[in-house]
Amino acid sequence: MNYPVFSLSPSPSVFVIVLLLFVQVPSSVSNSALFNDCSNKFVCGNISADFPFWGTGRPPACGIPELELKCENNIAKMNINQVAYRVLDINQDDGILRIAREDFLVGLCPPEFVNSTFNPKVFESVEGYTNLTFIYGCMAAPTPILVPGLFTCKINAVNYQSGYIQAGATGPGDCYGSVFVPISITDLSPVVIMPDLEQSLKEGFEVRWKVDGEACRECNSSSGVCGIDSVTNQTTCYCLNQSSGSRTCALPGSTPNAAPAIPAPGMCLNFSSNQFMKYSSHCLMLHTPWFLNSLFYSFNFILSILGVLDRIKKSLSSFRTTFTLLERLKLQN
């Protein structure tokens, strides 16, 4: 009885296909494309911005993930921690963003019951602002609250439910819901005047974004464009006709200032831009031009794949032999 097994000997055509799949396009090609894309500024109404922002013509590699800008009806907007904001101003020199909650632009009622919170790895507070909590849907407001600090809202189709304001970032307690939002300290007064407070909410508040400004300045001074490395999530420099991952762009005839690559565990081949070759007792260190690195790594990977295929072939062959012996024993019995 014959049990056909697929031949796993790699033919030249298979080798070519695998090679085409794993040989990477030189990084300078994609890096040049990112240089062009990230050179474009985000422009919407009177708001314009570049790094660390992205969106509307600027791909994600151009900025910090949390700083995506959108342009709707010529109005700049963004979402931070599930809250929709209108962008009122971007001060790139000081790294300060002024935003206002979209729900409060039309009044205190009804809000989206999501607090204005910010990732501390991306944002930090600006001096002169404090949190104020708006509490909704109460049976009755606490007695110490003065009447100007009270308001009413229609919550779940019920009119005239009491609401009030409390300093700090607190929860709703026994009431239906609450929202806290930063507000300018100068706009607060011992006696809350609701129209003034609503105007202050429309004028928004400021937050400062965190970014490696020094690295970006080095990149810009070398005629590069700043972006974000998707692997390390760190600031990187995009340059025309140069490989990615550099902190600065290289002048003609020089080498970019790049962080040293970390070799994979167990590798004995190390590639760099130096054009000489040396031998050590632990491994052979081949120093090649950068544009050959991808080819060498891909070739080694292909050899590994072929080795795996060969081991699979041997395992299947052993299985076939065992299966044949079992069939013969079965026939004898």
- The amino acid present at 277, given as its one-letter code, is M
Task: List, for residues 238-289, the tens digit of each pLDDT value.
Answer: 998 876 567 888 876 555 555 444 343 344 333 333 333 333 333 333 344 4
The H or E element containing residue 196 is helix 194-203
3-state secondary structure 127-172: CCEEEEEEEEEECCCCCCCCHHHEEEEEECCEEEEEEEEEECCCCC
Residue pair 227/238 in contact by the 8 Å Cβ criterion: yes
Q: Specify the pTM.
A: 0.66
Structure tokens at 114: 């999501």
Q: According to the model, what pLDDT value does residue 48 have?
A: 96
Note the pLDDT tens digit of each residue in 141-195.
Answer: 665 554 457 888 888 777 657 888 888 999 998 888 999 999 998 877 766 778 8
pLDDT at 311: 67
Q: Is 7 exposed, middle or buried (0-12, 13-18, 19+ CB in 10 A)?
A: exposed
Question: How long is the chain?
Answer: 333
